[in-house]
Structure 1
């Protein structure tokens, strides 16, 4: 599976959206240099309140640009970085990847997919009604999360818009993504 990076974003302060950048630097075991969510232990406020010693499985957030077109059909306007992602992608089925997939980005960066983003009510504060667009239920009643995937940095490097993404699936039985 192949795709490409369409935008990169980071923010050193807690906010819902993240400004786009010309490039971001991924740091092995930490996340995006200069981003508020970088670190070995969890940085998401609600998770810190529960247990600040938890490992940070949410170092880098990726979201597929195709979602913006999908929600646009229902009257929502979303641009890269506005849902808090660090890497906006195109042409790769992020939500269909199994846990443990390696994403090779650009010349040297490698991310390991850890799970799905579990979007919260802040999305409705950004645009009222958007949460129902990115979290729903399938025909069997199972929860479907479409707000991107989370990953950890296995190998650092600089990531820029236009970089290629190559997915390397893990060996053995594949575990489907679940929220992290």
Structure 2
């Protein structure tokens, strides 16, 4: 499975959206250089309030650009970086990947997928009604379905730019489905 990076974003301050950049640098074990969420331990405010010593499984946030197409069909205009992601991709079913998947990006950066982003009410503050579009329930099972991207940790650092290829390396079976992190 292969895809492409369509945008990269980072922000050194706490804000919902992240400005697009010409490139970002991934740092092994930390995340995106200069991004407020980079670090060995949790950096998201809600996680810090719960336990600031927990490992940071949310170093990098990735969203599939196809989500923006779906949101547009529902009347929401969203661009890369506006939902706080660091890397926007096209051509990969990010939500369908199992935990432990390795994403090889560009000339050598590697991200290990840790889980699903758990969207919060800030999404509705960004655009009213958007939370309902990115979190729902499966009609058959009643289980919560999260569509706002995936989270990962940086295993191998490197520069990532729009246009870079993304190669998917699945973990050994049995595969573990993504859970919220």
Whether TM-score is above 0.5 comes out as yes
Q: Secondary structure at the match of 1:5?
A: strand
Alignment of 1:80-119 (within 5 A): 80-119=80-119
Distance in 1 (CA, whole Å) between partners of 2:86 and 2:167 is 17
Is it true that 1:162 corresponds to 2:163 in the alignment?
Answer: yes
Query: Cα RMSD (Å) of the superposition?
Result: 0.3
CA-to-partner distance for each residue in 1:103-158, whole Å, 9 max, x for gaps?
Answer: 00000100000000000000000000000000000112100000000000000000
Q: Secondary structure at the match of 1:42?
A: coil
Is it true that 1:10 corresponds to 2:10 in the alignment?
Answer: yes
**Structure 2, unaligned stretches of length 5 or more?**
none
For normalisation by structure 1, the TM-score amounts to 1.00
Q: CA deviation at 1:160?
A: 0.0
Partner of 1:55: 55
Alignment of 1:23-172 (within 5 A): 23-139=23-139, 140-172=141-173
Q: CA deviation at 1:90?
A: 0.2
**Structure 1, unaligned stretches of length 5 or more?**
none
For normalisation by structure 2, the TM-score amounts to 0.99
Q: Secondary structure at the match of 2:152?
A: strand
Distance in 2 (CA, whole Å) between partners of 1:28 and 1:21 is 20
Partner of 1:174: 175
Distance in 1 (CA, whole Å) between partners of 2:134 and 2:150 is 12
Distance in 1 (CA, whole Å) between partners of 2:173 and 2:130 is 36
Distance in 1 (CA, whole Å) between partners of 2:27 and 2:47 is 22
Q: Secondary structure at the match of 1:141?
A: coil
Q: CA deviation at 1:172?
A: 2.1
